[in-house]
Structure 1
């Protein structure tokens, strides 16, 4: 994936990356050539992306009336001032200040946030700003070189490099919901990197840095660009992300394996309905306490995570088919999904 020289003409970093993506073999290179090419690639990426990386300072008011400062990173995604960052950076902030790479500072307004993916969009009133472009996170491979740019511990525009350590990880978001398909990287991340871009050697954003594990070394996580683009679209249009909602409170329960033939064993698991929310799609569909959900549109439901994941993929307004064990028999229940209620608004009532 790095620059080297042939007899006829040099192969660029991009050429090498294409070859790697297509499974092609790379000629043997001298160590000095490899290091020089990698260094040049990182320099080009920083020159391209760093102007779009911003710092965020926030002030939150506590229940006791005191102010608590916070900080994080973000990056410009449109020339007219839209900035992508983490939800946990700006959540419940009464004041947000964005610092640009050229030293200018602007007060920012929250456009919308999605705690379920730990993403948020804020906006500053400015035009003609440099932007970072999204890449294709679905093409990432384990071992691929990545670069993180952010403001760790308040040190603006810090650059670190690493590799993609794993793909398809799951991570609990700030609201407890499972974030799927998370990128794991060993690029050294620290507090303040949150919300900054994770980019490939072409300077395209493939992830949004979101979390580290306290006490661990070389364990950083990023929301993939494919997820971020979908969330950004909804936040800019609606101010929030609408997800499908069924409306039950359930718990894991064992069921005879004959009800879930895909399980391949004598016993399996499903979600026992403990409570049906009044006015919910579940109530309208006729789900009852005591029912055990074992499948959704033919896919096995073996845990609350399975149910959450499958509902997250279903469009609002669509009709799903639930396989339900009721009084020892397998039944079919159709439910038309509604938008998920706003948890914070409900809690504030």
Structure 2
């Protein structure tokens, strides 16, 4: 009598066929996505002036066409200080392009290539993403057209520092391998919808990539089209983090333990007009606690431009509420 087969290791008839079918289904899904989205992915070659050296340094990355008249999403850091831009379609066709607008705070940029009826890909809904779902990264790193890698979404709601020091929130973390030049390329779901724009890799980490979510791009693109930048509530101050005196914190029921100290106010700025002074400790905006510069950025990003906000400060041991009428700008806080 043959020995019993260990549990979980039975040679079930058809197991190999089932595994092959699953792999075939996975492959077919990836192939469909690449066939649908690949033609919309471009390489971006950038000519940049090098300060103090003259001439040009060539940089680049990837991008994805989101409208048939040549509008392309990529990263701000890909086209930063671009002198000239040339995009190359998946079939190798070169097209001149120009910067429409950039937003360092989200590392997104919109450029436009000279072309019509170009293949494009739709922006999906990144709110419905789930950890573990399939993610496909497509790009043109180092001139290799339609380089494809696959992985899964490994985390949602991550945060990264942008080039301007501002915290980029709600970032997607995934395991699809990225290479130099993948920046600006799309991260796509199994239905061929763009769920993110790849923005960064951690050099010493294995299989960790980051993408700016599609919903962020949906908010940013209309502003870039209209103004060339994203308008945000602007106070016009320079500031730094400062620990709160424990007695003051306890006396005013402040749980953060830290405040944002005003170290400069720009003449004529909303803060100066509202009476905010150097040395004031900002502890809240619109009753939302402020314990860091990131808190201040986050709250101001959610405020409507030119609508009054209440800034609560500690001055000389007293708590004071000041009404500030912010104006729109591309930079609201200078960090010291």
Query: TM-score higher than 0.5 here?
Result: yes
- Give the counterpart of 1:287 among 276, 286, 302: 276
Distance apart, 1:261 and its partner CA = 3.0
State how far apart, in whole Å, the 1-side matches of 2:61 and 2:252 are: 46
Distance 1:218 1:80, change over 3 A: same
Asked if the contact 1:259–1:330 (Cα under 8 Å) also holds between the matched residues in 2, the reply is: no
State how far apart, in whole Å, the 2-side matches of 1:212 and 1:233 are: 27
Select between 186-195 and 33-42 the one with higher mean Cα deviation: 33-42
Corresponding position: 1:184 with 2:184:
no
Match of 2:82 in 1: 93
Select between 90-99 and 246-255 the one with higher mean Cα deviation: 246-255
State how far apart, in whole Å, the 1-side matches of 2:311 and 2:113 are: 45
1:73-112 correspondence runs (5 A): 73-112=62-101
Match of 1:115 in 2: 104
Distance apart, 1:121 and its partner CA = 1.1
- Give the counterpart of 2:23 among 19, 22, 35: 35
Asked if the contact 1:285–1:334 (Cα under 8 Å) also holds between the matched residues in 2, the reply is: yes
Corresponding position: 1:257 with 2:249:
yes
State how far apart, in whole Å, the 2-side matches of 1:69 and 1:173 are: 22
Residue by residue over 1:40-76, the C-alpha shift from the partner in whole angstroms, topping out at 9 and shown as x without a partner, is 1111111110011111111112122021111210011
Secondary structure of the 2:120 match is coil
Corresponding position: 1:46 with 2:34:
yes
State how far apart, in whole Å, the 2-side matches of 1:46 and 1:75 are: 13
Asked if the contact 1:260–1:300 (Cα under 8 Å) also holds between the matched residues in 2, the reply is: no
Residue by residue over 1:91-133, the C-alpha shift from the partner in whole angstroms, topping out at 9 and shown as x without a partner, is 1111111111122111111111111111111112211111110
Asked if the contact 1:270–1:294 (Cα under 8 Å) also holds between the matched residues in 2, the reply is: yes
State how far apart, in whole Å, the 2-side matches of 1:55 and 1:47 are: 17
Asked if the contact 1:252–1:304 (Cα under 8 Å) also holds between the matched residues in 2, the reply is: yes
State how far apart, in whole Å, the 1-side matches of 2:56 and 2:279 are: 47
- Give the counterpart of 2:211 among 222, 232, 237: 222
Secondary structure of the 1:33 match is helix
TM-score normalised over the length of structure 1: 0.86
1:67-216 correspondence runs (5 A): 67-216=56-205
Corresponding position: 1:325 with 2:314:
yes
Asked if the contact 2:158–2:170 (Cα under 8 Å) also holds between the matched residues in 1, the reply is: yes
State how far apart, in whole Å, the 2-side matches of 1:58 and 1:274 are: 38
Asked if the contact 1:260–1:294 (Cα under 8 Å) also holds between the matched residues in 2, the reply is: no
State how far apart, in whole Å, the 1-side matches of 2:251 and 2:94 are: 60
Higher relative contact order (CA 8 A, sep 6+): 2
Please list every run of 5 or more consecutive structure 2 residues that lacks an aligned counterpart in the other structure: 1-16
Asked if the contact 1:259–1:294 (Cα under 8 Å) also holds between the matched residues in 2, the reply is: no
State how far apart, in whole Å, the 2-side matches of 1:70 and 1:132 are: 24
Distance apart, 1:341 and its partner CA = 5.8
State how far apart, in whole Å, the 1-side matches of 2:191 and 2:25 are: 13
Asked if the contact 1:273–1:292 (Cα under 8 Å) also holds between the matched residues in 2, the reply is: yes
* Number of aligned residues: 312
- Structure 1 or 2, whichever has the larger Rg, is 2
